[in-house]
Amino acid sequence: MKIGLVTARIARRIVGLLFGTALAGCSLLNGPWSKHEEPAPAAAAAVAEAPKNPPSATHKFQFDPDKDDVVGYVQTTTATADDTLPDIARRFDLGYEEVVRANPGVDPWLPGAGRTVVLPTQFVLPEAPREGIVINVAAMRLYYFPPRKPGELQTVYTHPVGIGKIGWNTPEGQTKVVAKEVDPVWRVPDSVRKEHLENGEELPAVVPPGPDNPLGNRKFTLAWPTYLIHGTNKAYGVGMRSSHGCIRLYPEDIERLFNTVAVGTPFRVVDQPATAGWSGDALYVEVYPSKSQVEEIDIERPVTPDPAQGVEALVNAAARPHAGLIDRGAVHQASQQRTGMPVRVGQRPPAGLAAAR
């Protein structure tokens, strides 16, 4: 569908112009969109493909950390005449890129009344200690694992995040939360002011709290100098590579975290282009778009120009000792398509059969 492809590319460029260089933590303040406020997310009912969780299960899950590496399940919702995919993304706590890739061929700005929209609300957890905050920049997703008592199920909160654009990458590694603040002041880094000045825009040295503050109304300070976790006054940039390295969340998500994450909480950033793990007896792999794919979305193209490397080895390691039961065709397809959605690639044998072997 060439028309759909052109529309998607134009839409992607519009989003980039509005939000890619002008967003929180490191944002452009001037311009005709600086005082635009996003509407509150409307209520909508989702139809679940699996009945084990209520439709509201899009950001909070419980799981057995000794058995499961996958949380959530894929859902669908029906678009109204006024909906855009960014509207639906925020309503269900998803990022722009996630929703577009889950719905190939759908115009992001005019999905159409009555259109069934897939909600990619199933996630393979990253390979990292399940404590504190973990961010997988490849997935553009945050996972918060609150403390738990022995014998209890593990709870995880997950939210889409905006991360550093190319040239301003969000750093990898481990640190911790050292402070948190309501209605923060943004002291604009000299490097950010210089970049905007080169583009003919002069930023103030200090931005007070309020609707024009790119940090939103909540922030966490990390032990890493100059990097923050914060809200935003431009919510549609969440789930994109568009910041100067900071981590930004929807306003409602940063408020949830602010009320639950304590100072001293461990904070870890990983870059895992693929994750694999078990949900019960089923093995899943989730392969995320490359940076080049994120820069130029092609919603019509089912096979990417740069298939992911190392996915088969990752699946083999996760499958042991059942590597012989892997669906190699499904692994290859996941590596090619890189949709960012979990793909079922294997199944453990029934307990009695496994024992007999």
The residues that bridge with 116 in the sheet, in sequence order, are 78
On the 0-12 / 13-18 / 19+ scale of CB atoms within 10 A, 102 is buried
Q: Number of C-alpha atoms within 13 angstroms, CB side, residue 251?
A: 18
Distances (CA, A) of 79 to 139, 331, 340: 25, 31, 22
Q: How many of the other CB atoms lie within 10 Å of CB of 333?
A: 17
* Active-site position among 36, 246, 322, 332: 246
CB 141 within 8 A of CB 160: yes
Q: Which two tokens stand for residue 225?
A: 């100098």
The residues that bridge with 274 in the sheet, in sequence order, are 287
Query: Any idea of the CA torsion for 28, 30, 31, 34, to the nearest 10 degrees?
Result: 80
Would you put residue 84 in left (φ > 0), alpha (ψ -120 to 50) or beta? beta
pLDDT score recorded for residue 304: 57
Domain 2-270 has CATH 2.40.440.10: yes
Grade residue 3 by pLDDT with cuts at 50, 70 and 90: very low
Buried b (16+ CB within 10 A) or exposed e, 314-329: bbeebbeebeeebbee
CB 215 within 8 A of CB 163: no
Query: Is 26 a catalytic site residue?
Result: no
Tell me the pLDDT tens digit for each residue of 150-167: 889 999 999 999 886 555
The DSSP symbol for 23 reads -
Average confidence (pLDDT) over 313-339? 91
Tell me the pLDDT tens digit for each residue of 264-290: 999 999 999 999 999 999 999 999 987
On the 0-12 / 13-18 / 19+ scale of CB atoms within 10 A, 139 is buried
Tell me the pLDDT tens digit for each residue of 295-315: 445 455 545 557 888 999 999
Parse the chain into domains and list their residue ranges: 2-270, 274-356
Strands 163-164 and 241-243: parallel
pLDDT score recorded for residue 290: 78
pLDDT score recorded for residue 176: 96
pTM: 0.80
> How far is residue 100's CA from residue 342's CA, in Å, rounded to a whole number?
15
Question: Would you give the end-to-end CA distance of the chain in angstroms?
Answer: 50
* Active-site position among 230, 244, 322, 332: 230
pLDDT score recorded for residue 44: 35
The DSSP symbol for 162 reads B
Q: Compare 113 and 8 and report the one with higher pLDDT.
A: 113
CB 181 within 8 A of CB 258: no
Would you put residue 233 in left (φ > 0), alpha (ψ -120 to 50) or beta? alpha
CB 162 within 8 A of CB 248: yes
Query: Is 246 a catalytic site residue?
Result: yes
Collapse the DSSP code of 66 into the 3-class scheme (helix H, G, I; strand E, B; otherwise coil) and give the result. Answer: coil
